[in-house]
């Protein structure tokens, strides 16, 4: 991704997270980026295309990070620990992306469907790992679809804590607390 496209991408993500999709205009994006509309349209044909690209690339990053890290591990509990740590790091580093996805996952617009599609694909990745753990008898009997959703939800809920307390998220502390809470319930 070239410098201009990256700047459009990052600016759009920030504006969509702060103001919402509907309240963000192409004019505002071009103004903040400092480019003409023609330059923006050279890279993206519409605001909707920017949004779709942003969600697709961001959620692929999360999913690919999980797949790469967990492929190197054998034990399901170790894989879940890796997932928790990656999710925490992603919500800290890409808070705007998570804010956008969570704010747009409900509704009947195309962008809502895009958010659901990529969010559900990600959760299915975690679900597969949990199913493998059940098959190997490494974790207790649980509903993998529910637990995969809960893992994502619990880690993302820390953005609410950050919003409420106005404190930065301490990754090692949060990781230890979530491991204690989540893994206690999964361990045999």
Tokens, residue 124: 């299915």
CATH annotation of 47-186 = 1.10.357.10
Domain boundaries, given as residue ranges, for the chain: 1-45, 47-186
Cβ-based neighbours of 148, under 8 Å, separated by 6 or more? 123, 124, 126, 127, 130
Among candidate residues 126, 114, 148, the one with its CA nearest the CA of residue 67: 126
Look up the pTM and report it. 0.88
Indicate whether 181 pLDDT > 90: no
Q: Count CA atoms within 13 Å of residue 128 on its CB side.
A: 11
> Check: CATH 1.10.630.10 for 1-45?
no
Helices (H), the chain: 3-19, 26-33, 37-43, 47-71, 76-93, 95-104, 110-135, 144-156, 158-165, 171-178, 184-186
Q: How far apart are CA 88 and CA 165, in angstroms?
A: 17
Neighbours of 181 (CB within 10 A): 11
pLDDT value for 15:
96
Mean pLDDT of 40-63: 94
**123-177, pLDDT tens digit by residue?**
999 999 999 999 999 999 999 999 999 999 999 988 898 889 999 899 999 999 8
């Amino acid at each position: 991704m070239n410098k201009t496209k990256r700047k459009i991408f990052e600016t759009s993500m920030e504006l969509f997270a702060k103001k919402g999709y509907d309240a963000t205009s192409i004019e505002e994006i071009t103004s903040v980026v400092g480019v003409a509309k023609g330059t923006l349209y050279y890279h993206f044909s519409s605001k909707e295309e920017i949004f779709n690209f942003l969600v697709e690339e961001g959620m692929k990053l999360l999913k690919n990070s999980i797949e790469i890290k967990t492929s190197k591990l054998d034990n399901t509990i170790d894989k879940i620990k890796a997932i928790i740590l990656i999710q925490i790091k992603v919500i800290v580093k890409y808070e705007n992306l998570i804010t956008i996805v969570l704010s747009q996952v409900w509704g009947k617009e195309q962008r809502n469907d895009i958010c659901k599609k990529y969010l559900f694909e990600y959760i299915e990745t975690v679900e597969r790992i949990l199913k493998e753990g059940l098959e190997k008898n490494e974790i207790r009997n649980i509903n993998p679809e529910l637990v995969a959703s809960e893992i994502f939800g619990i880690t993302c809920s820390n953005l609410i804590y950050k919003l409420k307390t106005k404190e930065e998220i301490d990754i090692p502390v949060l990781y230890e607390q979530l491991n204690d809470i989540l893994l206690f319930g999964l361990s045999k």
